[in-house]
Amino acid sequence: MVDPEKPLPPAAVPVPGRFVVVFDQPGPAASARFGARALQDEVPGMLEAQGFDLDGYFPRLGVAVVDAESGQLGELRARCTAQGLPMHIVPEMRYRILPTATDPGASAAPAFADTPTLTWGLAAVLAAESGYTGNGIRVAVLDTGFDAGHPDFAGRDVTTESFIDGEDSHDGHGHGTHCIGTSCGPRTLDGARGYGVAPGASIYAGKVLGNDGSGSDSGILAGIDWALQHDCHIVSMSLGADVRQVHPPYVAAGRRALERGTLIIAAAGNNARRSAGDPGFVGAPANSPYIMAVGALDAQLAVADFSARTLPGRGGQVDIAGPGVGIYSSWPMPKRYNTISGTSMATPHAAGVAALLSEATGFRGRELWAELAQEAQRLERPSVDVAAGLVQSPSPAAPETPAPAPQEAAPEDDSPESYYGHG
Active-site annotation, residues: 143, 175, 344
- Among residues 125, 224, 264, 390, which is the contact residue for another protein, using CB under 8 A? 224
Residue 238 near another protein by CB under 8 A: yes
- Among residues 91, 121, 174, 322, which is the contact residue for another protein, using CB under 8 A? 174
End-to-end CA distance of the chain: 45
Virtual torsion, Cα 206, 363, 344, 132, nearest 10 deg: -90
Rounded to an integer, what distance in angstroms lies between the CA atom of residue 143 and that of residue 173? 10
Residue 249 near another protein by CB under 8 A: yes
Q: What are phi and psi of 80, to 5 degrees?
A: -65, -40
Q: Provide the pairing of β-strand 202-207 with 63-67.
A: unpaired
Closer of 122 and 272 to another protein (Cβ): 272
Q: What one-letter code names the amino acid at 88?
A: H
Residue 42 near another protein by CB under 8 A: no
- Among residues 340, 373, 403, 410, which is the contact residue for another protein, using CB under 8 A? 340
Residue 342 near another protein by CB under 8 A: yes
- Among residues 225, 278, 367, 413, which is the contact residue for another protein, using CB under 8 A? 225
Binding mask 260-289 for another protein (x = CB under 8 A): ----------x-------------x-----
Stretch that binds another protein, among 57-65, 70-78, 244-252, 287-295 (CB under 8 A): 244-252
Provide, rounded to whole angstroms, the least separation between the CB of residue 196 and another protein: 17
Q: Provide the pairing of β-strand 158-162 with 57-58.
A: unpaired
Burial annotation 44-55 (CB, 10 A radius, 16+ → b, else e): eebbeebebeee
Residues across the chain: 423
- Among residues 240, 315, 316, 348, which is the contact residue for another protein, using CB under 8 A? 240
Residue 356 near another protein by CB under 8 A: no
Rounded to an integer, what distance in angstroms lies between the CA atom of residue 239 and that of residue 254? 15
Closer of 251 and 391 to another protein (Cβ): 251
User: What strand order describes the sheet that includes 292-297?
Assistant: 158-162, 202-207, 138-143, 234-237, 263-267, 292-297, 320-323
- Among residues 15, 90, 189, 243, which is the contact residue for another protein, using CB under 8 A? 243
Beta-sheet strands, E only, within 238-302: 263-267, 292-297
- What is the contact surface with another protein in residues (CB under 8 A)? 144, 173-175, 178, 209, 213-218, 220-222, 224-225, 228-229, 238-241, 243, 247-249, 252-253, 256-257, 270, 284, 306, 340-342, 344-345
